[in-house]
Chain A
Amino acid sequence: MTTTALKHPAPARRLWVYLPMTILAGFFLFPIVFMVAASLKTDHQIFADMDSLRAFLPVGDVSFANYAAVFDRVPFWRFLGNTLFVTFMVTALGLVVNSMCGYALARMKWKGRGLVFGFIIATLILPFDTTIVPMVYLVANLPWIGFDGFRPVLEIGWLNSYHVQIVPFIVNAFTIFLFAQYFKSLPKGLEEAAAMDGAGWLRTYWRIIVPLSKPVFATVTILMVVTSPATWNAYLWPLMTVQSEELRPVMVGVQYFFQLDTSWGEVMAYISMITIPMVAVFIAFQRSFIQSIAGAGMKD
């Protein structure tokens, strides 16, 4: 097969590639299409359309009434603001802390490095659900410096706060692993040249390593935003540690819609409203995301 043939496969061959891909894409898109279509319908219409393709189409008794009702049932902007703030803080602080940790483990030579890296990786086998109860007890008894006006006061317990939603999730073993793997793939000559120019570890990290590692930063951004138990999908942790409605994130808000007589149209409208920002983030970062995930398993 020639290079030209690879770049421009014959139409028949192209069909065999794109047909299954299109079908697969359809399967993955169906839930999202259904969600958006159902969000525009009355409950009666949703169930009436359920056994036909109409379930995926905005047809019949459609309106934006469910979207309007969302704002009556939940303080949507408050929940969204909380989630955006917590997500931003966890992700921004996580990028700094975890990348520096990954750099120290990948490129700096120090005694016990392998052991520490092993310990960090070992924490990956512990599901979050198994550690959440001791964590709740721990944060309920941790000290914090709060403010009474301008006077600092020592408080005991982190519950019902923003920091309880942020601090425990800044460090993330998997993202440390990703950073370390990526940094290992960078040429050592760059650091050696920087060292010869008199740069220390911190300057080398900041001026040389970070600018060369945009794909892994993009990947980690997406992973922290989407998969961390404290960011966009945060549910169980804020459920157990945050009692004030003022501090609740969007995912806990989903439960507001499940009443004795649940309005499924409102559920779908709310879920659409909290899904769309995530889809936008993924589309914006998808190229870097795929490149970096593909390269994460390789090292020189």
Chain B
Amino acid sequence: MQRRNLMKLAAATGGAALTGPALAACSASSGGSSDGELLLWTHSAGNEEELAVTDQIIDTFNSRQDAYTVKRESFPQGAYNDSVNAAALSGDLPDLLDVDGPNVPNWAWAGHLQPLDLPSELTDKFLPTALGVFQDQLYSVGHWEAACSIFARESVLEAANVRIPTMDEPWGREEFDEILQRLVTDGGYQWAIDFSTADIGEWYPYAYSPFLQSFGGDLIDRSSYLTAEGALNGDAAVEWGRWFQGMFTGGLSNMESPAGAEDFNQGAAALAFNGNWGALAAIDLYDDMLFLPPPDFGDGPKIGGGSWQWAVSAGADPAGANSWMETALSDEFVAEFANLTGLIPATESAADLTEHYRTDGDLRMMMDYSRAYAVLRPETPAYTVIASVFTKYAGDIIHGGDVAEALDAAVSEIDADIESNSGYGF
């Protein structure tokens, strides 16, 4: 293997210590069985609903034709990326696999994936954030999308005399700050808003970086994808950092709030910033739930975009794999995933087939938020490092660290990684 490919593999595995002569001949991809068997990996182990639909798709595909047989192997989500990277290292990748949206550019760049060959009339109807694109080529398509919103109770807002925001008229920064203060001082809540800060990991860039983008900053300069300078440590970013830090140091939000908006569920927090996957449980808990649009901090309301998507490994038989993708991406299965998991269907036509997301569905607004506000995490192979660096320094900011210093340090680490990987192809 050439040095350049080794570097890609190292970057794809999150910078693990991959250098050394033992790796000198390794292959980064495999797949491609000659007997018509296609091996599929999914991150859904332990998730009965997702596995049930995946098995339905496989059964349908296997029964419709004789040339290929798909077999499934499931992995737990927390261990999935490591398993895929290890398989790439040992040349043991499956033919079909799912991939978290923000990882698509990294895996495509590392040579794990091949571009999809699907008809545009099929892919055009999917939400843009459900498509994994890297350097103008489509590598993955997802059945669903996720969206964050402000979880609130109508009775609580009415009691505090708070205006209920709409997509046409979301809360602005000053109004939002004043509401949070009022909910703590007058509403009798321990915390004004629950950010689930204990959910260390992808939640940080997914949930918190859209606030940064609404302030006018970003995780990286998307005009070049070669530096985070100015985007992550410019005036707008520093302003975001100070505002965000004030949430915690000012006593409006719990620095150590449990994952899954438990402060809100327990009645300790008046509001929560949470994903749509927690919506049905919240409706079960409170009969006056509202899912409100995020505030506009200057550059419009923003939320994170991009969830799990299906992709084809570099060594797979393209005909068989793309044929499976066409079967899998039918509205029937898109709707089935949404019905069983509560996640947002990735096509409008499938939404009409669902209970929660059809035009008059009780979670329809989540689909609207996704369409209107979703920002993809940066479509660059550097994202895996950007995500871990942002998580680290956002944690420092939450715990009272110097905002400008933290953001400068984050920029420095991200730029160093990009430079050491020769710009990741940009």
Contact = CB atoms under 8 A, between A and B. Distances in A.
A74 interface: yes
A159 B90 contact: yes
Interface in B19-37: 20, 22-23, 26
Contact of B18 (A44, A133, A262): A133
A255 interface: yes
Nearest to B49: A259
A296 interface: no
B20 A134 contact: yes
Contacts of B368: none
B46 A47 contact: no
A137 B78 CA distance: 22
Given A44-B265, A159-B92, A256 B20 contact: no
A245 B45 contact: yes
Interface string A29-48: 00000000000000110011
Contacts of B78: 255, 258
Interface string A109-152: 00000000000000000000010011011101000000000000
Given A134-B22, A136-B86, A138-B22, A259 B92 contact: no
Contact of B77 (A159, A252, A255): A255
B22 A137 contact: yes
Contacts of A134: 20, 22-23
Interface in A215-242: 236, 239-241
A239 B17 contact: no
B83 A74 contact: no
Contacts of B91: 140
B159 interface: no
Top 4 A-B pairs, shortest CB-CB distance: A256-B46, A255-B76, A140-B90, A240-B86
A185 interface: no
Interface in A58-82: 72-74
Nearest to A242: B83
Choose among B86, B258, B275, B277 the residue with the greatest number of A CB atoms under 10 Å from its CB: B86
Contacts of A159: 90, 92
Contacts of B86: 136, 239-241
Choose among A43, A256, A257, A258 the residue with the greatest number of B CB atoms under 10 Å from its CB: A256
Choose among A47, A48, A137 the residue with the greatest number of B CB atoms under 10 Å from its CB: A137
B48 interface: yes
Contacts of B23: 133-134, 137
A19 to B, nearest CB: 31
B266 A47 contact: yes
Contacts of B67: none
A261 interface: yes
Nearest to A236: B82
Interface residues of B, number: 38
B90 A157 contact: yes
A72 B22 contact: no
Given A140-B91, A256-B45, A261-B281, A243 B22 contact: no
A48 B90 contact: no
B89 interface: yes
B262 A73 contact: no
B277 A48 contact: no
Contacts of A133: 13, 16-18, 23, 89
Contact of B79 (A48, A157, A239, A260): A239
B401 interface: no
Given A140-B92, A259-B46, 8 more contacts: A47-B262, A47-B266, A134-B22, A136-B89, A236-B82, A239-B82, A244-B73, A260-B278
B420 interface: no
Interface string A254-282: 01111111100000000000000000000
A261 B91 CA distance: 33
A236 B278 CA distance: 30
A211 B82 CA distance: 44
Contacts of A244: 73
A12 B414 CA distance: 61
A252 B79 contact: yes
A45 to B, nearest CB: 10
A267 to B, nearest CB: 11
B26 to A, nearest CB: 5
A228 to B, nearest CB: 19
B276 to A, nearest CB: 10
B48 A72 contact: yes
Contact of A48 (B48, B75, B82, B266): B266
Given A240-B83, A245-B73, A257 B90 contact: no
A261 B277 contact: yes
Nearest to B47: A259
Given A72-B48, A133-B16, A137-B22, A243 B77 contact: no
